[in-house]
Amino acid sequence: MEFQNLIDFIKSIYKQDFIPLHEPRFIGNEKKYLNDCIDSTFVSSVGEYVNKIEDEFSTMVGSKYAIATVNGTSALHTCLLLANVQQNDEVITQALTFVATCNAISYIGAKSVFVDVDVDTMGLSPKHLINFLEKNCQIINNQCINKVSNKIIKACVPMHTFGHSCKIDEIKKICDEWHIFLIEDSAESLGSYYKNKHTGTFGVLGAFSFNGNKIITSGGGGVIVTDDENLAKKAKHLITTAKIPNKWEYIHDEIGYNYRMPNLNAALLLAQLEKLDFFIEAKRNLAIKYDDFLNNSANIKFIKEPINSKSNYWLQAILLESEEKRNEFLELADKNSIMSRPIWRLMNRLDMFKDAQCDNLENSKYLEKRIVNIPSSVIIK
Ligand SMILES: Cc1ncc(COP(=O)(O)O)c(C=O)c1O
């Protein structure tokens, strides 16, 4: 298929002069709740909307607890602290991810170790994970020790790329066997399920993001989910400056963080959460449109939800034949005022992570050169 055909198709769907990759939609109670929040004067880190969001969110994803944070990165950072990841520990993740996953690991002074993804999910590969562990690691005193670095592999952070779930049940089984704490980076996968269970609820902890580009947004925001009461309490404590409840005294019992989601953001988020089902349906319909259009194309492959997954299709993606073809498509889209983006540069190719231990990353390298995101905003008729 000529790239121009796809460009024309995108224009016919969106009918806009400039077509962004992903625009938020505010079509519900956003202004009402924001006004109410302002009128209440509780705009900061205490307020009814924060409590409401946590209740609604845990019910929605099916976790016992949800703790709202200022963004997805702080949610991930807090999860790693809760997993007791310490300076010089190692954390396995994928090289094919947004930089925030690895930044959070680095905030602790821990090191990222990169294991390959599966081509069908674009998320961490259980097959490559077990191969890596069997080749490089051994269990000593219930800890996973990396024989190459002599460091402890404390945690594993798989990511559900563009809302498509990785094979998280297999990853969980491997992590349990190898005494590795599982944290899901579910920043992109709100509303996505694997084998009928919500992503983010397989690991001990899951982290979500509500950045402006996500399926729903609070401006900036995140949530940690868990079924573990102690971890939930500790999370709330850590993100509210580790302050001990007291009528008036400021007593803090450890170094804490100012990571609590403000009520103002929670008000916006609640209105967005009320529209989540509608957004997911719209995105799944958009995926059907793209897939139908590209069905017989040999050179542009539409990325569909992997087997066993029900995806939110947060960002729609296509796979092109080569890096040259990818660049050609990006140029043409740009010339036509259509925003499209290549998948992330692999983390081990960024300066900060260039010394990280990696497996061969064959699939990650293949996808890095070929995947492009195309306009994905919810279409309001
Ligand atoms: C995979 C992934 N992890 C983490 C984050 C960080 O979330 P935030 O931007 O809310 O800090 C994002 C999104 O921005 C993301 O896509």
In angstroms, the CA 339 to CA 331 distance is 10
Alpha-carbon gap, residue 222 to 210, rounded angstroms: 6
pLDDT (tens digit per residue) in 213-261: 999 999 999 999 999 999 999 999 999 999 999 999 999 999 999 999 9
Sequence spans of domains, the chain: 3-24+276-374, 30-273
In sequence order, the β-bridge partners of residue 111 are: 90
CATH of 30-273, one of 1.10.645.10, 1.10.3720.10, 3.40.50.2300, 3.40.640.10: 3.40.640.10
Confidence of residue 296 (pLDDT cuts 50, 70, 90): confident
Mean pLDDT of the chain: 97
Atom of ligand 1 nearest to the CA of 220: 10
CA-closest residue to ligand 1 atom 4:
100
Shortest-distance Cα residue to atom 7 of ligand 1 = 72
CA–centroid distance, 219 to ligand 1, in Å, is 13
Residue nearest to atom 12 of ligand 1 (CA): 187
pLDDT over threshold 90, residue 381: no
pLDDT value at residue 244: 96
Alpha-carbon dihedral 208, 212, 216, 219, rounded to 10 degrees = 90
| Mean pLDDT, residues 170-176 | 98
Q: Rounded CA gap, 310 and 322, in Å?
A: 28
The ligand 1 site (C-beta within 6 Å) comprises 71-73, 97-98, 100-101, 159, 185, 187-188, 209, 211, 222
Contact present, 266 and 50 (Cβ < 8 Å): yes
d(CA 208, ligand 1 centre) in Å: 8
Interval 95-107: pLDDT, tens: 999 999 999 999 9
- In the reported structure, the alpha carbon of residue 244 is separated from the centroid of ligand 1 by a whole-number distance in angstroms of 30
pLDDT band at 350 (very low <50, low <70, confident <90, very high): very high
CA of 158 to the centre of ligand 1 (A): 13
176-224: pLDDT as tens digits:
999 999 999 999 999 999 999 999 999 999 999 999 999 999 999 999 9
CA of 259 to the centre of ligand 1 (A): 15
Alpha carbons 144 and 142: distance in angstroms, whole number = 7
Q: Which CATH class is domain 3-24+276-374?
A: alpha beta
Assess whether pLDDT exceeds 90 at residue 352: yes
**Residue to mutate (ligand 1; options 78, 188, 218, 347; most atoms within 8 A of CB):** 188
d(CA 163, CA 18): 25
**Which has the closest alpha carbon to 61: 378, 308, 276, 278?**
276
The rounded Å distance from CA 321 to ligand 1 centre is 28
What are the structure tokens assigned to 342, written together? 């290549």
Give the integer Cα–Cα distance in Å for 311 and 308.
10
